[in-house]
Amino acid sequence: MPPQGARGDATHHRNLARSSEFGCCQLFTAEYPILLTDNQLAAYRKDGFLVVEHVFDQATLERLRRAVAGLVAGAADVTDHTDVYDLEPTHTAEQPRVRRIKTPHKLHPLFWEVVKHPKLTSILRSLLGPNVRLHGSKLNMKLPHCGAAVEWHQDWAFYPHTNDDILAVGVMLDDVGEDNGPLLALPGTHRIDKIWDHHQDGRFCGAMDPAAAPDLDFSRAVACTGKAGSCSFHHVRLVHGSSQNNSDKPRQLMLYECAAADAWPLLRFSTLEEYDGRMICGESTIEPRTERVPIRMPLPTALAEGSIYENQTALRNRYFETKRAIT
Ligand SMILES: O=C(O)CCC(=O)C(=O)O
């Protein structure tokens, strides 16, 4: 059975994806198997997000779950957030509760293998062009009955670049439904020519005060749901968030932040070698493409650094209800 959304016919086609609605006029041309239909491409451009089903098979999911379980087991040795773990407030050594595993691609080779999978790179090429670099990765866990909410935000507020041909892929390691804290996307907000304020009292806090965004109707948000093995794709400027997981099912979402190679970060550059070492497909470049994009720097840095969850603890006016976790 060809995956939903696949054309399932000849293996290679000429793929032309125009990014003019993002404000630039490139014509992406490449030889590779096309997985996205024209309708899916149009939907991504219009809405700023897309869910593609059946990207990863059961065998890959099993391997991923084993790798994740191994990493989570290591959290029994820690009592506070580290470079690897972001912990739920109810975490204890006896009952490890990990909210996020930070940069999994640095911790286990399988996470690199997954992002370089031909099906995924085919979709990335269609959406971002032939040259794609990994900006970062994170695994948001959302345990049953306590997985934390993420307040409304644009990823762009955290990592502005010279252009916005950037998206986050969410590989669903579990079935994601309306009830276990799906990612919620506000359609079309990536095309609005502004960056919403993610500051409070003059400091970055990684979240939007819903009262300060009267131009947005949060009730229009769409849940990115799908069976395990599906992937969501959301544009870096899309307003999104997610509620607490109050169900009895886990929701593990492996997020890869992927950028067109000519989108250069405006903050935090290490070395050219490390930077080029994060290429997912195609060629790197030292010639950034600059576009007229709205930018507000995430500075001064958040009071609580380390992860979006920590940054957002400063936000006084929260949108998502947080119930006390079952202990
Ligand atoms: O885990 C989620 O549902 C949302 C994650 C997210 O938006 C983020 O970590 O930036």
pTM equals 0.89
Q: Does residue 150's CB lie within 6 angstroms of at least one atom of ligand 1?
A: yes
Instruction: Name the 3-class secondary structure at 126.
Output: helix
Query: C-alpha dihedral over 243, 245, 250, 253, to 10 degrees?
Result: 10
Tell me, in angstroms, the distance from the centre of ligand 1 to residue 232's CA: 11
Residue ID of nearest Cα to ligand 1 atom 1: 140
Q: Does residue 242's CB lie within 6 angstroms of at least one atom of ligand 1?
A: yes
Domain of residue 239, CATH code: 2.60.120.620
Confirm whether 326 is domain-assigned: no
Instruction: Name the 3-class secondary structure at 280.
Output: strand
Confirm whether 198 is domain-assigned: yes
Distance in Å from the first CA to the final CA of the chain: 44
Confirm whether 41 is domain-assigned: no
Confirm whether 21 is domain-assigned: no
Which structural domain, as residue segments, surrounds residue 112?
46-312
Confirm whether 40 is domain-assigned: no
Confirm whether 12 is domain-assigned: no
pLDDT per residue as tens, the chain (327 positions)? 233 333 333 223 333 333 333 333 333 444 456 689 999 999 999 999 999 999 999 999 999 999 999 999 888 888 888 889 989 888 887 888 899 999 999 999 999 999 999 999 999 999 999 999 999 999 999 999 888 899 999 999 999 999 999 999 999 999 999 999 999 999 999 999 999 999 999 999 999 999 999 999 999 999 999 999 999 999 999 999 999 999 999 999 999 999 999 999 999 899 999 999 999 999 999 999 999 999 999 999 988 888 888 888 889 999 998 765 554
Confirm whether 323 is domain-assigned: no
d(CA 190, CA 227) in angstroms, rounded, equals 25
Q: How many residues does the chain have?
A: 327
Confirm whether 14 is domain-assigned: no
Q: How many domains, in total, are found in the chain?
A: 1
